[in-house]
Amino acid sequence: MVPHDAIRLTSVSELTTPLRQLACTDALAESAVWRAWSDASAIWFVTGTISLELSRERGRPVLQMRVYNREGVLEEEFTCMHTTANVWQRINVH
C-alpha cells in the first residue's frame, strides 16, 4: 500500500491540516492509533482500531483499518487479522 521509499511521518505537525484534525479527534485518541507516510506530494494516513467483538469471535487480534489521502478523504476501509504466522492478513467480514 505504501512505497518502500516513503518517509514515515511521526509528528502531527508533519501532517496536512485535514489530517491533523483527524489525528486529534477525541474518538481517534480514545480508540485508535495512526501511522502516516509521505512520498513526494502523496500522504498515506492509516488508522487502526481493535475490534473486540471480532477478536473474541476469531480468537485472534482483529483490526479495523482506514486509509485516508492527504486531504483527509477516506479512500479505503478493510479488516485485518493477526495470523499464527505473526503477520496481518486482510479478511472478509460479513
Tens digits of per-residue pLDDT, 2-37?
889 999 999 999 999 999 999 887 656 566 889 999
- Residue 34's nearest CA partner among 5, 9, 2 is 9
- Residue 63's nearest CA partner among 86, 37, 91, 40 is 91
Max Cα distance, the chain (Å): 41
Cα 12 to Cα 5: distance, rounded to the nearest angstrom: 20
In this prediction the pTM is: 0.85
Domain ranges of the chain: 7-91
Tens digits of per-residue pLDDT, 31-83?
688 999 999 889 999 999 999 999 999 999 999 999 999 999 999 999 999 99
Tens digits of per-residue pLDDT, 82-93?
999 999 999 998
* Residue 17 dihedral angles phi and psi, to the nearest 5°: -55, -45
